[in-house]
Amino acid sequence: MLMPITPVSLSFGAAVLLGLSFGAGPCNIACLPYLGPVFMATGDGVQKSWRILLHFSLGRMSGYALLGCAAGWIGLLVQEWINNPAVRWVLGGATILVAFSLLWRYYRNAKKPFGCSKNQPKTGIEVSLDQLQPQTTTMPGGLFFMGMGMALNPCGPLTMVVFGAATTASALSGLSLGIGFGLGAVVIPTIIFAFGVAHFGAQLREHVGRWRGPLELSSAGLLLFMGVFTGLGWISP
């Protein structure tokens, strides 16, 4: 006699562990082509990395929370929704927006004189242009929706969370599972990008000297490439 299959509930702690397992491996590889060029172009070091990671991580957590809430409310139909090709343009469009933000940043800085003129009197205090002008990284909204777009791309652990949220038949319970998964998923990548990629990007800009302009342009071009090809479905994060 066949026994009925009882849905296994997923706890908040289990969702966090699933997020940690995802964030410790595949997530870093998936995020690198999107966040890496931003750090290369801006040169934001460890102390300023939060200006990029905060908006990106909030976007990811919002996306996971949205999926969990929707799954708990309408069930597994949300799985079919996130496989819709139009959803890819959330990440693709946001990546293009960030790329144009970097291009605007390059154009704005290119119009400003760099360094001190030889005819300027010595004041005893030399301040570089980077110190006088606070460097805005990219448009915060672009980074936020880039993070949300990353969250809306299905993966194995996320599918388990969506299924667990659907079995609760509760939007609030699904929301808590999505938040738990998001908390676990962003911790390790944030540490790696803040202390690894951000430091490498700052050191690279410091040593390339006069090649900073081409570095910024190539980073923006790479993001444009990633954004268009992601939206078309030719690249899957």
Residue 155 has pLDDT above 60, yes or no: yes
In this prediction, residue 236 carries a pLDDT of: 81
Cα 164 off chain centre by: 25
Mean pLDDT of 206-227: 84
- pTM flag (> 0.75): yes
Q: What is the mean pLDDT of the chain?
A: 81
In this prediction, residue 112 carries a pLDDT of: 60
The candidate with the shortest Cα–Cα distance to 145, out of 78, 103, 81, 94, is: 94
Give 113's pLDDT tier (boundaries 50, 70, 90): low
H-only helix segments in the chain: 12-23, 26-42, 50-74, 77-82, 88-110, 129-132, 140-151, 156-168, 171-192, 198-208, 212-231
Share of the chain above pLDDT 70, in %: 82
Give 228's pLDDT tier (boundaries 50, 70, 90): very high
3-state DSSP assignment of residue 113: coil
